[in-house]
Amino acid sequence: MLYHVPNIITPELLYAMRSMGHGDELLITDANFPATSHGQECIRLAGVDSSEALSAILTLLPIDTFVENPFITMEIVDHPKTIPPTVEDFTQIIKQKNPFLSSPKGLERFEFYERAKKAFVIIQTSDIRPYANIIVKKGVINHAN
């Protein structure tokens, strides 16, 4: 047992986040995402939705503030300007945990898949909401954190 680690963070996920370097990306996905075929490592969080996973991960993970946007989501197919409710939810969580950061940037579906293949780790949740996928870029810990 450890202090201050959200109970949905598994030992495997904690190890993966600690193993990441600055600039590495993790991907939180919904239940429908082809996670196993897209990543080098896939950690499953059964009974957890993507929003819960994002909130717990942002409790521990420093975010890269040296890039334009450290959060990437998948755009709705044929409706790239429409913001899905899941992304609105992600935005609220990001602003609550890191008020200085911006809303996630959307990528076209196949561009998102290509980016996902480069993720350090994929965390697949049980979320069945559409477009409940987000890429998070790890930053550094400094004296201000």
Whether the Cβ atoms of residue 40 and residue 114 lie closer than 8 Å to each other: no
Gyration radius (Cα) of the chain, Å: 14
Whether the Cβ atoms of residue 63 and residue 98 lie closer than 8 Å to each other: yes
Residues belonging to the active site: 22, 64, 113
Whether the Cβ atoms of residue 71 and residue 136 lie closer than 8 Å to each other: yes
Q: Alpha-carbon distance 23 to 120, whole Å?
A: 10
